[in-house]
Structure 1
Amino acid sequence: MKDMPQLGVGTFRLEGKTARQSVRDALDIGFTHIDTAQFYGNEEHVGDALQTSGVDRADVFVTTKVWWESLGASDFIPSVHESLSKLKLEHLDLLLIHWPYPGDDIPMKEYLEQLAQAKDEGLTRHIGVSNFTIPQLRQAVSILGKGEILTNQIELHPFMQNRQVVEVCHELGVSVTAYMPFAVGKVMQNEVLKNIASEHNATPAQVVLAWMDKKGIHAIPSSTNKDHLQGNFDYTKVTLSDEQIALIDNLDNGERIVDPDFAPDWD
């Protein structure tokens, strides 16, 4: 599969049988983008699901991410080989830096050159970053050159729309992928989103995905419920009015959910 699909399925916090089943269900429904990471500890289970799904490898876009503890020159490429081995794949479609390295021990240039090398060696077709701030993204593009970074995967949902980062991504020719697009379920409780959903005979989740599509933002929600996965997949039945989009835009209150102690200084 050449291009990254608009909608994918995430696997954060999914383990063992649950991860396998979720990925199998997603592929069964018709999802073509599966997102995992070294840190999730489930690459092997995702690989099992991919292998036993009966779906042609060429029809699936697979993303994984290198954990920051493996960003050093001696660890980076071996960690990618290990990921490929667990995923039972010859190559990835997208390889991301999961988090920028915290501190100065490993310069960004060093690990981005490793990322580029993974692509040169055919270990991945595309490369990108995750959780990069505006200054870090500008630095990354200056190191790798424009057009090399496919996406910046960031926390983004109606309550934290990360507008400045999105704007700079688009300015630099980098797509945006939203993780936690439903704000760990909070969108389901929001009255504005519930009202818009009822007007479309849809779910708040579908409304959020339709809103992201309209904004040109990719999304990778996760679910262990096949009905919810199907609902997410069917979001395209929702066409939002300009007024509804404005209502969702107004929900932004900067509420960040993911903020580990090694996170960068956010924009």
Structure 2
Amino acid sequence: MLELRNVHIGYQKPLFNTGEISLDKGQLISLFGKNGSGKSTFFSTLLGFQKSISGEIFFDHLPVQYDKRKEINSLFSYVNTEFKGLNFMTVFEYISLGRSRFTPLLGRLSEKDLKIIHEKVELLKIKHLLNKLTSNISDGERQLCSIAKALVQQAPIILLDEPTSFLDYYNKKLIMNLLKTLSLEENLLIIQANHDVHLCFDYSETIIWIDTNNRKLILENLINVENKQLLIESIFDFKR
């Protein structure tokens, strides 16, 4: 369980306060907010790249040690909007980077590392891509490779920034189906920032959104929401 205890997200001035929020594993949670509301800053804070102004973050009832990079990497993996593979790198080499925290200085993969990599590759059905250069695969395939890299890191929490950007409708559905399945079958807490609200509502029972007017993070269980269109208007501050 990830617990946010009145964490003020921002720089010199807070963008918003998380309040008291608990997020269990085994869920695909969608994060929404207007452009500039602080979604990326929120992820940066969870990942330890940006200090919170105040408040505490706990995982399984223990405070997250943000002064220990190794601990952060053991708790969180991150999939960026932009693909970070190098043109001369094969898909296998790229996915293997997810095992870097487990490998010695020279980066030699153990039998255990290889087993985990191949398990996740089989799970995502991308074995046929392993020997291809990352520059020679499609955007949808790159997103699958990035998710595989996150999975082999074996962190209980995966953060994804706009995972369906630049994808056609088929691949959007493919990625969302995959994330939902992974959250349940691998017992992961997956939090994905996304602007495609209607798509995400089909896959997330729980959402969090940034209320820029009141500067707070709001947790919503969609099962209890009768008027989803009204909720969308609130999230993006539509004026009637």
The structure with the largest helix share of the pair is 1
Q: TM-score range by the shorter chain?
A: 0.3 to 0.5
TM-score by length of 2: 0.40
TM-score by length of 1: 0.37
Bigger relative CO (Cα 8 Å, ≥ 6 apart): 2
